[in-house]
Structure formats: C-alpha cells, structure tokens
Structure 1
Amino acid sequence: MQRPGEQSNISLTRFESMLKTNDVYFFDSEEFEDIIHHYLEIGKIALAKKATKLGLEQHPSSSNLRLFQVEMYIFEDKLEQAESLLEELQQLEQSNEEIYIQKANICSRRDNHKEAISFLERALSLTDDEADVLSLIGMEYLFLEDYSNAKYKFMKCLEHDEHDYSALYNVIYCFDYLEENEAAIDYLNDFLNKNPYSEVAWHQVGKQYYLLKEYKKALASFDFAIISDDAFIGAYLEKGKTQQKLKDYAGAIESYTVTLGLDDPTSFALLRIGKCYEKLGDMDLALQFYLKCVEEDGLLDKAWTAITDYYFRKKDYQKCLYYIDKALNIDSENVLYWKRYATICKKLNLFEEAEHGYRRTLELGNIDIDTWIERTDLLIHIGEFNSAIKNLNQATEHYNNHPEIEYRLAGLYFHLNEQSKGRFHLNNALRVDSEYIIIIEELFPVVYENQMVKQLILNHQNPSL
C-alpha cells in the first residue's frame, strides 16, 4: 500500500511528464489539490496556475479547485474576479471557512482590515484549525496597529500550538511595541513553566532582560537557551553582546567564536570579536577581524570605519586614505565615509579633496554645524571666499543666528570690503555671543585689527559710549 507522500510524488512526476510531452493525463481532484499546494509552497506560481487551469478543465465543479482559482486571481490582483467567484461558491457552501478566509484576504489587500477581521471571525466559528485563523486575525490587528488585540490573538494561537514560534515572536513583538517588558517576562516565564526546554522562549526572555539592563539575568537566560539547543546561533550572539555589557570581553570573544564554527562566519560576529580585542588592548588582532569582516560583508560601514579609526590613531593617514577610498568604491553614497574621507584628507593637507568630502557629506544629508564650519574653514584656507559665504548662507537655513556662522560671515564680508554686510553680521554675532569674537581674531587677523571692527566691538562692550 502506498503512503500519501509517495502518492503525491507519483502525481507530481506524472504531471510534470504530461507538461513535457503535451499529453493529457487524468488526475482526480485531490491529486490536483496536492500538486497545486506543492507548487504554491515552493513558490512556483506559474506551475500552480497551470495545474489549477487543467484541474478545473477536468473537475469544473470542484469547490477546492475553484478556491485555488480564487487564490490565483488574488495573487494576480484580479480582485473583482476573485470576489465574483467567491460569491458563487458562498451560495453553494456557506459553511466553508476557506471562502471567508479568501474574502478577508481581498479586504486586506484593499486595506479594509476591520472588514477582513469580521470575515475571519466568521471563518473561526467554522474551522477545525483555529490556530491558523487566529494567526490571520492577529496579523490584521497588526496592520491596524492594534497591538493589544493582536497580542491576545497570537497568545490564543499558542494555546492551540505551543510550538508555533511564529506566534510567539509576534506576541513578544507586541509586548515590545507596547513597552511592556516586565509583562513580557512574566508571560515568557509562564510559557517556560510548561515548556522548560524551549530555546526560543529562553532567548526571548533573555532579550527582555537585556532591554531592562538586567544583564546577569539576561546572561543566565541565554545560557539556558544554549543548554536547550547548543547550536542556537542567536543565543550565542546575544550572550556575547551581554558579556560585552558586563565587560567580560574574553567571554564574549568565546561566545562569538562558537558561532563561526556553527555556520558561515557572520560580519556581525567578526566585527564584535574585533571590538572585544580592541577593548582588551590587542589592536593587531582587532584589525585582523575588522579586515575579515569587510571581506565577508563589504557593505558593513562599521567595519570600514573601525579600520580607518585604527590607522587614524596610529597617525598612518595614508593607510587611512587607502581604506576609506576602498570603502567609497563600494558605497559612494555613504555619508559616514565621506566625513571620514574629509577628515583624513585634511590631515594629509589635501585641502581641495577634504573640501569635496565635506561638500558630499552635506549633500548626503549630514547637516551638523561642525560639517558646515569645517567646510567653510577649508574654503577660507584655499582662498575660495565667495564659496565660503555661499556655504555659510546655506548653513543659516538650518542654524539661524549661530555665532560660529555669524562671526565667519562678518570676517568674510570685511575681508571682501563689503562693509555694510560685515557690520550687520558682526553686530548680530556680538549680540548672540560676544565670547566667540576669537573666531575673527584667529581666522581673519587683519580684519580683527580693522579700526571699524575694533570700534564695533568696543561699542558692544561699552554701550554707553
């Protein structure tokens, strides 16, 4: 006697043979259902669609095959056709929960989540598989950002199936969003009383303790997760993070290193090992892991910046430039790289390149006051005074009446003999913060000695004169 799995394999083999030869074989409706379900599960939608079409040609009255047709329509966003077919089916089978599930699916596609929930509640009253429907209801509540109701529905899923880890993750997601960390711990502890070897629950309770900065309890929880499953990579990574918080850097290295043997090395683990060696003062080993990290994941900016920081501390600015250039070749839109590029070029007296780096930093959205000022001072240094004024005027859109900006504008306008503009900005700067007058003294020593400038400063210091 053939087992169900063997029968399904035979049906699939016959179906695919039929497609290759263009012959037409007969399958019963259940065989077609198994074939379609198989293709949907592995994501071969075109073959599922073909099987549905052939199935309906041989079994036009099969409700289950017509429901698969509804699913195809929804997948292709043919919602009206799906709706029409569902209405026909509902007239024939008002107690078929799948009809209401697909109606809910259509409502959800149209962002009508409340109506979707009402259809799913109807399906729930009809189904024998409550956990699946409860999960769908929970997802609709998530779409509505109703995390309390979503949490409750996912909890009900777990009552039906304690191994539904997808539901467990969703429960914790809701707790996190509602910032109910203590309640999450209580829930997980209750869950663990019934499932003491649930590595996922231990892992999740550890993450809750970590969020509450109760690192020793978090560490114990991750250890229990590892006892429950000694190949659980996520638990080792979280344990390592916790050990770092407890300043046990050698222990953290050990935890991260375990993950390298369990699977292909992750850039996260390599970076963290490098950071731990850095904390232990072994900079050469730290660099080795940072270099391995960028080999594994060239897009991880924290690794590239760690490498450049290493050489920056050693004042090896040429090596800094070499590595930041490599990083920029991989990701030329990374604002962190451009800021470092500018700083490094400045150290190497490559002032035009440094100015370009600061300009790209600003263009990519880093509008910190320091970036505007650094670029301005470089433009002043290379004699691009009008560009410096333009840069500062753009900065005023974000930092109005900032003394660092106003004093520089005053100095620039006086330097260019635009006396009235110089007076305006110097008076404004003195009014905002007179302590910053040192900016003009340092950047524009000739302007500082100007009699008009000295008089304006004196007038501010002694308004009665």
Structure 2
Amino acid sequence: MLYVYCDSKKETTREAFLDNNVTFTSHLIIPEEDMPKRTKPDHLLSKLITEFEEQGQLINREYCEESYYIRLIQHYERQFQFDKALNLTDQAILLYKYKQDFYLLKAKLLMASQQASIALEVLDQAYAISPMNPEIQFLKARACALIQQFDDSLKIIMDLKCNIQKTDLPELLLVEAFIYETMKDFNKMFDTLRDALILNPNNHEALEQIWVSVEFSKKYEESIRLHQDIIDKNPYSYLAWYNLGHAYSCIGEYEAAVDALEYSFLINQQFEQGYLDCAELCLQINMYEKALQCYVDANDMFGPDAELVVYIAECLIKLNRHKEAKHKLQKAIYHDPYNEEIFFYLAECFSYESNYQKAIKYYLNAIDLDEQREEFQAGIGKAYENLGNFKKAESHYKKAATFGMEQSQYWTMLISFLLKRGEKVKAEKFLARADKYSFGADLLYCKSAFYFMEGSRENAIECLEEALSENPNLYAILYEILPELKEDKDVQSMIRYFNI
C-alpha cells in the first residue's frame, strides 16, 4: 500500500480522507493553470476578432496597442489558425519594429506550422535587437532540432551551459530534452529531465514530459526511484504520483499503480486524466467497483459526458447490474446518437435479458456506425445463434474472426459454433487458419473437441493436456461443444488434476 502524508503526519488512504471529509486540496495550493476557470464573455476580444475578420487588420487606433495584438495573436494560436496569427504578427512587427516579443511570437508560430527554417531567420532578427536574451538561443536550438540539424542545436546548448545563469538552467534542460526527443534518443531525454527534476522537483513541464521518455526507454525502475524521491520532498505532487502509477503498472505492480494513480486526482481534483487512467487500469485488472467509482467521479466533475457514460455502463455490465446500465445508456443515446459504443452496450444488456430481437436491433445500429468492430459482429452472431438463425450467425462469426484475427476468442466462437453444428470440414479449415494468426488455450480446447469428434482420441487427449496446461479454467469450452465428455472418466480425471 502506498501512503500520502497529510498535515497531521499520519499515514492515510483515500477512505480515511473521504470518511473524515478531508480533501487534499485543503492542504495544497494548486497551480493556477490547474484550477477550474470561470469563463466570462470577453467583449473586447470579440471586438478585436470582428475588426480583424472584417478589415484584415486592426484599423481602430484604440486597438493598436501591443497588448491587444498579443491577445488576438494568442487567440488564433489557440484555435490553430496559424496563418491569421502570423498575419497579425507581421502587422505588429511593422508597428513595433524593435519589440523582440513579436519576433519571438512569430518564430514560435512558424515552428508550430512546420516552418522552422524561416523561424531561424526571424530569430536572427530578434538576436540583433536583444543579443543577451537566452530565450532566443533556446528557440534557435529547438528550430535546429526540428529541421534535423542536431549538431547545431546541441552546440547551442553546450555553449549556453558554459555561461548560463542558474535561473535559466531548468529551461535549458527542457530544451535539451526536446532535442533528444526529436532525435528519438529517449535514454538521454530521460537523463536530462531527471537532472531538471533533481534541480527542481516541482518543475511542472518536466513532470509532464518525462513519461514519454520512460515509456520508450523502459526505465521503469529508475522512474519509480526518481518519483518516490520527488514525493518524499513534495507529497502533494500530483504529476509525480501519476508518473509513479504508470511506472508501477509497467512492471506489473498493479495495486501500487492503482493507489498512485488515485492519489494523483485526489491531490488535484481537476486532473481528469488521473481519473481516466486509474479507471482504465482497474477495468483491466477486474477491479470493476473501483473503476466504476472513478468513472462516476469523473462524470460528476467534468460531465455529463457520453463517453464516460459508456465506461460507466461497461463497469455496470461487468458487475451484472444490467438494468442500471441500460437505463443510463438509453438516456445517453439522446445526447450522442452517433456513438456506436452506446448501441453496442445496450445490445449487450438486451442479450443478457434474452431479448435477442431487441439486441439485434441495437447491434445493427452499432455495426452501421462501425462495421469492422469484431466485438459487434461476435455479439450479433451470438444473438442470431440463440434465435436459431444459424446462417446469419455463421456470417457474423466469420466477420468477427476476420476483423479480430489476432484474438483467439473470435476464432473460438466461430469454430465452436461450427463444431456444435457438426460441420467438421468447415471447422477444420478455420482451425488451420486460426493457427496462422492467433494462439490461445481456448483454440486448443476447440482442437481437442475436433479430434474427439474425428475419433482421434490420442490426439484429442494430447491437445486437451496442452490446453489444460495453458489455462485450466477454460475447460467449459470443451463441454459446451461435446456435453457427453462430462461422463468421460479420463477427461474428468485430467480436468480435476489440472484444477487442484
């Protein structure tokens, strides 16, 4: 169990905090960028946008101050309308020829729009105005990296390290890490960001970027040690907990990973990704109740959101709470009628209730939106099988196996369906095809059943032994195809032996 330390110096878990109505944020000042924002109409910005859109420039002298230009440029940058932002920047440079800020803005916009070579020319102009500004060199290093001039970009960094002020070193290390990332040298990227975090454990940008380097360099153990050290210095670093959780997950320490991810959003209740990643991991390791709680909390905090409702429904279905899931999905369909997942999970709910006609209707809705989802095809195939429409069932099972050819479960559904129907020739063909693309104990049980049906008992027993060695819990597949094997003493003996 991981622990977070509050002001009382006592170790505590999420339950303790919630039971006592204590929140982490009562002891923590969240950075301004992480706080929820109240959005008010910005009438001045609206006027600036209207004038620029209508006139192509800011004509009203009242609006020609540099702060107005910066606001409008930043607006178009946020909208990814780089052409308009660059147009405004050029206008501002004509008015404020010796103002380096507009040159730097222009260089950043050019780099964002994949024009790094031109950005270097603009930065040379900025350097002529303000040669002592280190940000110009930082941007030059980034621009050189973007056009694959890595020797030049690293030389800029090395030269700066010789005489840079200590206050500028964190930014320098971030730029160096960016260069290594562009070079795809993730080991050096990790080492550089680690240096930045040793220098300042609260470096928000370094904490945001370091996971990329960990994921590609696979330095999970080093990442765990680093983030544990950061948490020792600042137990309320939500990004440190978040990164720690992912590192634990990658080495299979799933309970520790869930705890760490949970702390990330308990510390910063506006950190949506923390809720979602924690919930996703809980789903993967069958902690459905906890996954459900994370998704419900996220929907309460950031919703209503149709995607989150789908995840909530999935958890409810896993918990056999189909009625609740169906109710939520039927409400969600009105808000998002083009979400194939909503239709699919509704179909699953109706299948659970054995209302196969209704289930087929919703499966077809889902398939209309995304035909190549193997689980949609498998679901409708099962519904048709239960209604006795074997021709359509086989058709959809084949599509499921084709679209999900690397997943053994869909081949198993098709082959077991054919074997139950006595279609051994077809089943043999698909067994051979499945062997090319997939592997799983479920397929071995199907193969064993096929050999039993062929009268090749020796091969059947050999195949059954291999299947039981792989996964002894899936033996029901064999009984589903050949119920009479429940009376076979050899088969029963083998299953008991492997399930002790």
CA contact (8 A) 2:292 2:312 kept: yes
**Does residue 38 of the first structure (1) align with residue 77 of the second (2)?**
no
Q: Deviations over 1:273-325 (max 9, x none)?
A: 44554565544234434555666667776665554444444443223312211
Q: Distance in 1 between matches of 2:430 and 2:294?
A: 50
Q: Distance in 1 between matches of 2:389 and 2:279?
A: 41
Paired residue type of 1:175: V
**Does residue 342 of the first structure (1) align with residue 381 of the second (2)?**
yes
State the shift of 1:326 in Å.
Answer: 1.7
**Does residue 318 of the first structure (1) align with residue 354 of the second (2)?**
no
Q: 1:122 to 1:371 in 2, by over 3 A?
A: farther
**Does residue 185 of the first structure (1) align with residue 221 of the second (2)?**
no
Q: Which stretch shifts more, 220-229 or 48-57?
A: 220-229
**Does residue 329 of the first structure (1) align with residue 368 of the second (2)?**
yes
Percent of aligned positions that are identical: 16
Q: Distance in 1 between matches of 2:109 and 2:204?
A: 28
Q: TM-score, structure 1 length as denominator?
A: 0.64
Q: 1:309 to 1:352 in 2, by over 3 A?
A: same
SS at 2:228 equivalent: helix
Q: Which stretch shifts more, 233-242 or 112-121?
A: 233-242
Aligned to 2:85: 48
Q: 1:16-165 counterparts in 2 under 5 A? A: 23=59, 25=61, 34=70, 38-39=74-75, 41-43=77-79, 44-60=81-97, 64-71=101-108, 73-75=110-112, 77-84=114-121, 86=123, 95-113=132-150, 115-122=152-159, 126=164, 129-158=168-197, 162-165=201-204
State the shift of 1:197 in Å.
Answer: 2.5
Q: TM-score, structure 2 length as denominator?
A: 0.60
C-alpha RMSD of the superposition: 5.4
Aligned to 1:228: 267
Q: Which runs of 5 or more residues in structure 1 are unaligned?
A: 1-8, 409-425, 437-465
CA contact (8 A) 2:116 2:147 kept: no
Aligned to 2:299: 260
SS at 2:145 equivalent: helix
Higher relative contact order (CA 8 A, sep 6+): 2
State the shift of 1:152 in Å.
Answer: 2.7
Q: Distance in 1 between matches of 2:282 and 2:412?
A: 35
Paired residue type of 1:165: H
Q: Distance in 2 between matches of 1:53 and 1:169?
A: 33
Q: 1:176-325 counterparts in 2 under 5 A? A: 176-209=215-248, 214=253, 217=256, 221=260, 224-225=263-264, 228-230=267-269, 232-234=271-273, 253-266=292-305, 270-271=309-310, 273-274=312-313, 277-278=316-317, 281-289=320-328, 291=330, 305-325=344-364
Paired residue type of 1:333: Q
Q: 1:304-453 counterparts in 2 under 5 A? A: 305-361=344-400, 364=403, 366=405, 369-370=411-412, 373=415, 395=433, 398=436
SS at 1:107 equivalent: helix
Q: 1:276 to 1:156 in 2, by over 3 A?
A: same
Q: Distance in 2 between matches of 1:153 and 1:48?
A: 33
Q: Deviations over 1:208-236 (max 9, x none)?
A: 44555556655654665565345555555
Q: Distance in 2 between matches of 1:265 and 1:39?
A: 27
Q: Distance in 2 between matches of 1:196 and 1:145?
A: 32
Structure (1 or 2) with the larger CA radius of gyration: 1
Q: Distance in 1 between matches of 2:115 and 2:274?
A: 44
Q: Deviations over 1:407-456 (max 9, x none)?
A: x9xxxxxxxxxxxxxxxxx9xx99x96999xxxxxxxxxxxxxxxxxxxx
How many residues align structurally? 406
Q: 1:58 to 1:26 in 2, by over 3 A?
A: farther
State the shift of 1:327 in Å.
Answer: 1.0
Q: Distance in 1 between matches of 2:52 and 2:292?
A: 57
Q: Distance in 1 between matches of 2:333 and 2:89?
A: 47
State the shift of 1:264 in Å.
Answer: 0.6
Q: Distance in 2 between matches of 1:174 and 1:36?
A: 35
State the shift of 1:168 in Å.
Answer: 0.9
Aligned to 1:463: none
SS at 2:236 equivalent: coil
Q: Deviations over 1:247-294 (max 9, x none)?
A: 876566555433332221455654554455456554423443455566
Paired residue type of 2:74: H
Q: Which stretch shifts more, 325-334 or 69-78?
A: 69-78
Q: Distance in 1 between matches of 2:240 and 2:437?
A: 49
SS at 1:190 equivalent: helix
State the shift of 1:144 in Å.
Answer: 2.8
Q: Deviations over 1:180-239 (max 9, x none)?
A: 444333322321232233333334434544555556655654665565345555555566
